[in-house]
Chains A and B, each alone.
Chain A
Amino acid sequence: MDHILELQEVSKAYRRSDFKLDKVSFRLPYGAIMGFVGENGAGKTTTIDCILNTIRKDEGNILLFGKEMRDEDKELRENIGVVYDGDNFPGYLNPAQLSDIMGGLYKQWDNGLFLDYLKRFRLPPKKKIKTYSRGMTMKLAIAAALAHHPKLLILDEATSGLDPVMREEILEVFLEFIEEEEHSILLSSHITSDLEKIADYITFIHEGRIILTASKNELAYEYGIMRCKESQFKEMDKEDVVAYRKRDFQTDVLTADAKKAERKYRDVVIDRVSIDEIMVMLVKGERL
């Protein structure tokens, strides 16, 4: 399968911080949405910054459309739409002026499409961006990212801080975008409910390391949480335990194969698991 984005053991350390990205690897296929999940400070933005070349990686390879992107590779950037969390554009501009600037930056800039999105998102084109609410600025950033016909959308916490109605509206736009087979989205978020709705793949990052990458269906239908007693936990095979958390009288065990576990541990209750729960288990839980 071809991949629009591939990270191979990407590492990045900072002189003034203990934080580092440690051999981050994952692959995003064409025509798919990948949710990039992790708690605040886990390394989501650093990874995205490495992908987009706004920071320099120390080691590893990042392939975009099969090529390593350098500063001079403008053609590759034509095909990437980016949305950052917060204010993407200067407040002294209005959307009409922004469109004028973007038209000079991107060869494929489509002013008509941009205006359509402004209309759809109910964004006034002549109003200064600094007067926009947070939700409006995020919608504007999404409109700008889509209006140059990118093939890959990279969104860093694009839905955080938005109300559920706005998030729903934006997720719909992402689903429309992905209808084209060549289009893909990398969506970093800690709002896992959004990812459960639209993502095909989920990649978990914790303390700069990828701790799990799997398809959403695999997580939804194959993963499970075993609720067991201490004695039952002690008898479990190591291979059945992805992570575990001890509570007062119970131990929660995350397993990658709930069906197998059902057959194997007949007296253990096994629940379906949400992405949120998987994240908490992976981050807070212990490994055998």
Chain B
Amino acid sequence: MKGLMKNNFYAAFSSARVFAAIMILLGIFVTAMDNVIPSLLIGYILSVIMGFSANGIFALEKENASRWRKYKLTAPVSRKEIVGSYFINLLLCLLIGIIFAGIFTYLSIAIHGFPFDRNTDVLNLFAVGISISLFMGAIFFPLFYFGGDEIVEVAFLAISLFSAIGIVMGIVSLLNRMFGPKMTVEEIIMGACIMIICSAAVFAVSYPLCVAIFGKKEY
């Protein structure tokens, strides 16, 4: 497992370092700008969280250019561990995205003050970003193992991203309908928790599904 994690780290790092550099510059820009209209900060939070997650996923596609995916099957690791390492990799990339978003959100608020109506709005933004990322992974990985063609994988990533956004928007609509237009702080927090729990549950279910698909796959 250690070797697989290192492999995923190198794969993700090779693409994520450029993204990280851009996000640092963008973060500095967001922090430097006045946040009276918070759309820039909202955009940054969502893009940095989802972007790092997408980078973590996209790193897998790079392996396809070589026989590495097949080679790994000959190493002393089980297929279950290989799948598990990808899921953990996504969670780590998501964590990096959250840290980036947290740092620059904190700096922006510390310098320019709180730009949102309620404290819970920030929590909601993070919850949306995390949920989209988890849904994206939960949808992408089974498609990745089911398909496995290099060109298709780029399409799979787009399908996963848009599906994840759609699902999260659907959950938000349901929550709005459930709690009504004037939600209390408790209801907003509960809504954010429901969103994260749903996405985490789908993400967790996706793992055994991937193991089952990958177990039957031939390379």
Contacts and interface: CB of A to CB of B under 8 A. Distances in A.
A107 B65 CA distance: 27
A214 interface: no
A105 B67 contact: no
Interface residues of A, number: 32
Contacts of B80: 71
A117 to B, nearest CB: 17
Nearest to B7: A101
Contacts of B78: 71-72, 74
B77 interface: yes
B11 interface: yes
Interface in A63-85: 71-72, 74-75, 77-78, 80, 82, 84
B219 to A, nearest CB: 5
B76 A93 contact: no
B102 to A, nearest CB: 29
Contact of A87 (B1, B67, B73, B74): B67
B73 to A, nearest CB: 5
Contact of A55 (B1, B5, B6, B218): B218
B71 A100 contact: no
Contact of A106 (B4, B63, B66, B76): B76
Nearest to B3: A104
Interface in A100-126: 100-107
A105 B77 contact: yes
Interface string B1-26: 11111110011001000000000000
Interface of B: 1-7, 10-11, 14, 62-63, 65-68, 70-80, 215-216, 218-219
15 contacts: A53-B73, A54-B70, A54-B73, A54-B218, A55-B218, A71-B80, A77-B75, A77-B76, A90-B11, A92-B62, A97-B10, A100-B10, A101-B7, A105-B3, A105-B72
